Amino acid sequence: MPVSEAQNNHAVVHEFIAMNRRTFLSLSMASCFSSTWAKASSRQRLVRQQLTMTNSSELALNDATAWFYVPMRVAAGQRRTALDIHGMGFQLIDAGRGQSLVKIVLPELPAFSSKIIRVQATLSPYWNDTLLEPTLYLHGSRFIEVDDPTVQSLANMLRQDSPLLTARAIYDWVSGNLSYAGFTADDFGAAYALRHRRGDCTEYAYLYTALARGCQIPARVMGGYVLNRDGLIRSAEYHNWSEVWIDEGWQVVDAQKQMFLPQSLEYIAYRELQSGVADGIDSVSKFWASGGVKLTME
């Protein structure tokens, strides 16, 4: 008799729970310790990024414009306390839910020339306990298919006695049952990741977030960089992960890199995916330009 996808998920979940039931308590205690440590930490972090506006044409460009994200004003484990863009005027735009966009306009960029933008942000540890729109982080969306029957069935099977234990059970299942497929330019979503048991970091985050929301735990997908020291971020290292509402605050969960509630300032959030800040903005992960100029980031 053929085995349905739901039955297969059910069997895998019960095997997973049987193997890990004894470790749930110790893991949750370790998670609480990590959370407490993060709240108490007092260190700061300096994050730098370097972008270049280039005019490759034989004519000067007027009003060449660059937009790019900088570290979020507030996110799980971080608060931006200072922002400096060396030697350039800029406009800082509130893009909603802690996100910030920088807009730079060059009145004139000569032919065959470039302009380097050097950015430095100072970040402090921060316990982000702001949840203004709880229902926003419980509903489904294009790639976070909470109402997909297979996603909902798995969420119900992973539900535990507390939000913390449920968050850990979802993390263990996603990190243990998905295979990393390497970077893909296109998004496929939570249902795809569950069906094919594979994806890049974005699909891991979509699936984790969909399962958490299916268990009535607010969750969201973030974009940024993993950086455990002061330093320069690089465009190629852009990464997606989840934030989940546990213990009355947002906390980081990264099933793809196998990090559950890491310490503050290891994950530097730049944006929230599917935040609906404005038409077109949500589809751009890092930066963009207009006026004929090419914008790149180191």
94: Cα separation from own chain's centroid: 18
pLDDT at residue 33 in the model? 41
- Give the integer Cα–Cα distance in Å for 221 and 203: 10
pLDDT in tens, 94-135: 998 899 999 999 999 999 999 999 999 999 999 999 998 899
Q: Given a cut of 70, is residue 214 above it in pLDDT?
A: yes
- Residue 54: strand pairing partners: 114, 294
pLDDT at residue 18 in the model? 44
pLDDT bucket at 10, cuts 50 / 70 / 90:
low
Give me the chain's average pLDDT, please. Answer: 86
- 5-40+128-283 adopts what CATH topology? C8orf32 fold (3.10.620)
Minimum mean pLDDT range among 144-148, 183-187, 197-201:
183-187
Q: Which helix (H) or strand (E) holds 67?
A: strand 61-70
pLDDT bucket at 285, cuts 50 / 70 / 90:
confident
- Give the integer Cα–Cα distance in Å for 250 and 133: 13
pLDDT at residue 282 in the model? 57
- 46-123+285-297 adopts what CATH topology? Immunoglobulin-like (2.60.40)
pLDDT in tens, 18-27: 444 434 444 4
In degrees, rounded to 5, the angle at the alpha carbon of residue 269 between the alpha carbons of residues 88 and 122 is 50
Q: What is the pTM of this model?
A: 0.85
pLDDT at residue 140 in the model? 92
- CA-wise closest residue to 67 among 112, 45, 99: 99
Minimum mean pLDDT range among 6-15, 127-136, 155-164:
6-15
pLDDT at residue 83 in the model? 96
- Give the integer Cα–Cα distance in Å for 289 and 37: 40
Which residue ranges make up each domain of the chain? 5-40+128-283, 46-123+285-297
Helix 163-177 to helix 5-20 angle (10° resolution) is 110
Alpha helices in the chain (DSSP H): 5-20, 24-40, 149-158, 163-177, 190-196, 201-214
- Residue 244: strand pairing partners: 219, 251
Minimum mean pLDDT range among 36-45, 91-100, 178-187, 286-295:
36-45
Q: Given a cut of 90, is residue 225 above it in pLDDT?
A: yes
pLDDT at residue 41 in the model? 52
**Do strands 267-272 and 61-70 pair parallel, antiparallel, or not at all (unpaired)?**
unpaired
**Contact by Cβ (8 Å): 285, 86:** no
- Give the integer Cα–Cα distance in Å for 191 and 174: 12
- Residue 80: strand pairing partners: 123
The percentage of residues in the chain with a pLDDT greater than 90, rounded to a whole number, is 73
Q: Which pair of structure tokens corresponds to residue 179? A: 């295979």
Q: Which pair of structure tokens corresponds to residue 268? A: 């530097």
Give the count of beta carbons closer than 10 Å to the beta carbon of residue 75. 27
- CA-wise closest residue to 46 among 229, 291, 195: 229
